[in-house]
Structure 1
Amino acid sequence: MSLGTEETKAIDIVKRALDLGINYLDTADLYDFGQNEELVGRALKGQRDKVVLATKAGNKWTQGKEGWEWDPSKQHIQSAVKDSLRRLQTDYIDLYQLHGGTIDDPTEETIEAFEELKKEGYIREYGISSIRPNVIKRFVENSSIVSVMMQYSMFDTRPEEWLDYLHENNVSVIARGPLAKGLLSENALNKLQDKFKGKGFLDYSHEELENLLPKLMNVTGEKPLQTTAFHYCLAHHAVAAVIPGASSIEQLEANVHAMNEQAISETQYSTIKELVKQSNYDSHRD
């Protein structure tokens, strides 16, 4: 999502990621009106077999209408996948995800669409990208999803309520936003002052973040703060992958370097749990 639309730069980032051993790429037809898929497809030419390629559907753009329209219908999903395959220049998608969802959706129809695409070989597996507990539970109980993508970081612990449940049901979590919009990256305090300018993040006020970040850095020690952020998310068996964005090769390399550092210890994990807030999703539960 963060690649941008400058073709040479975007393709160079993807190719460098492959060189560094990145083997999971996640895009969506929504990103830059499909251009993101096109760039990923071009970058993967001749290297498609090196990656688990994921994309998403459910948002429909109609020329002449304002904004995207939510459409989880079977007809739309089975049409959208063919457009994504064309843009990605591939004949199959490893992981096809519903890009959102509400409890009022025609879920049976949506699941039927994914199951048929899987049977026909257009997709290998399917999952959802949703933070809504009632939607997640409905898909876990009624479909063969293999993954749920959720925003998850030390500053957004809402998914933790569901990690055991998902793991017990053989559903993996893909953690997006593990760096909390850069607050858990290198130069975190500078990011807080420059990017947030007095504003907080989710359950944290600006002042709370100013107080908390140095304590987290102390837990991290000499390692990059990203290392703690990534491995915190990966500490639970349910989490299969973290997907930080990268808008430059420098950011990409910093993330890979952090990921390759030694995982946090149980003591460090326990210390972090004492420092951060345990949040819950209050809505979309029934």
Structure 2
Amino acid sequence: MKKRCLGTSDLYVSEIGLGCMSLGKEEPKARSILDEAIDLGINFLDTADLYDYGLNEEFVGKAIKHRRQNIILATKVGNRWEKGKEGWYWDPSKKYIKEAVKNSLKRLQTDYIDLYQLHGGTIDDPIEETIEAFEELKKEGVIRYYGISSIRPNVIKEYLNKSNIVSIMMQYSLLDRRPEEWFDLIEQHNVSVIARGPLAKGLLTERPLELANDQIKNDGYLSYTYAELKNVRQQLEKAFPNFTKTEIALKYVLSQSIVGAAIPGASNIDQLRENVQAAQAKAFTHDEIHKLKTITKANVYTNHRDA
């Protein structure tokens, strides 16, 4: 599988990574998906300490223990929780980050993390303190690089201006084009985008729209009504008869040079294989990309912007 470099780092990640959140709580099934992903050429695994309260990191750690050097391992921090207790709260403090990383390393059975990401963030956070924590962890050799996972423009701009992040994880798909407004600014800082949710909760796959949950049927998805979703899918089928919807979705996201990787989740091996195969489809031409943009909405973020 083709690889791309994240920002100014020396992390070369597979174009399709694996978002591990959907692996589930059954270890044999999770391990089979992780093993298959690596066998298919995926070297970029993204987890978080919050996923199933550490269990997800444990599964990933066991799966990569004997081949750690071949994996680009990413995890996240900031949502504080205690074992045995429900719920969590936001804590981007330096003290907590430096405590949490030790627990992640233990669960992941490794002595370093390739990409450590802040799992959210607000403009009211002690941002300088948070950055200081990441920079110290880099100097200590505990992490190689750091990034943020955020869709808040005001937070993104702060980290672009004040930190050495190499990546920003953002929800990005043909049905959620809000990040595109910020691509030029992000690119000016030599930072990569990691695209989560590129299949838009399965709306951009071969799964029949009629099987969508009641919330989507009643409320739609982001700025799309259910009727609009149906119309978009029909237009995609008509305009691109030689592509599956999964191919269209992933190749569109990957057509953006700023995107370092797309990280769809997979709750079974069939989904995983479909995602990897879709990445092998031919690249879109400039005209085809323009057509895709005319079919979908150029929606933008309305909240968390500068006044």
Q: Distance in 1 between matches of 2:260 and 2:58?
A: 26
Q: Distance in 1 between matches of 2:162 and 2:119?
A: 18
Identity of aligned residues (%): 59
Which of 33, 37, 40 is residue 57 of structure 2 equivalent to? Answer: 37
- Map of 1:178 onto structure 2: 198
What is the deviation of 1:67?
1.8
- Residue 156 of structure 2 corresponds to residue 129 of structure 1: no
Deviations 1:253-280 (Å, cap 9, x if unpaired)?
1111111111222111100111111111
Letter in 1 for 2:268: S
Q: Distance in 2 between matches of 1:69 and 1:187?
A: 35
Q: Is the 8 A contact 1:182 1:188 kept in 2?
A: no
Which of 44, 59, 62 is residue 24 of structure 1 equivalent to? Answer: 44
Q: Distance in 1 between matches of 2:255 and 2:245?
A: 15
- Segment of structure 1 superposing worse, 164-173 or 184-193: 184-193
Q: Is the 8 A contact 1:227 1:263 kept in 2?
A: no
- Residue 304 of structure 2 corresponds to residue 273 of structure 1: no
What is the deviation of 1:191?
3.7
What is the deviation of 1:285?
1.0
Specify which structure has the bigger relative contact order, considering alpha-carbon pairs within 8 angstroms and separated by 6 or more residues: 2
Aligned length: 286
- Which structure 2 segments of 5+ residues have no match? 1-20
Deviations 1:8-49 (Å, cap 9, x if unpaired)?
110010000000000100000010000000000011121111
Deviations 1:77-126 (Å, cap 9, x if unpaired)?
00111100000001100000000000000000000000000010000000
Which of 108, 112, 121 is residue 128 of structure 2 equivalent to? Answer: 108
Q: Distance in 2 between matches of 1:193 and 1:134?
A: 32
- Map of 1:282 onto structure 2: 302
TM-score w.r.t. length of structure 2 = 0.90
What is the deviation of 1:65?
6.2
Q: Which consecutive segments of 4 or more residues in structure 1 shift more than 3 A?
A: 62-66, 190-199
Q: Distance in 2 between matches of 1:101 and 1:88?
A: 24
- Map of 2:223 onto structure 1: 203
Deviations 1:169-224 (Å, cap 9, x if unpaired)?
10000000000000001134344478833441000000111111111122332222
- Segment of structure 1 superposing worse, 34-43 or 263-272: 263-272
RMSD: 1.5
TM-score w.r.t. length of structure 1 = 0.96
Q: Is the 8 A contact 2:251 2:278 kept in 1?
A: no
- Which structure 1 segments of 5+ residues have no match? none
Q: Is the 8 A contact 2:73 2:113 kept in 1?
A: yes
- Map of 1:67 onto structure 2: 87
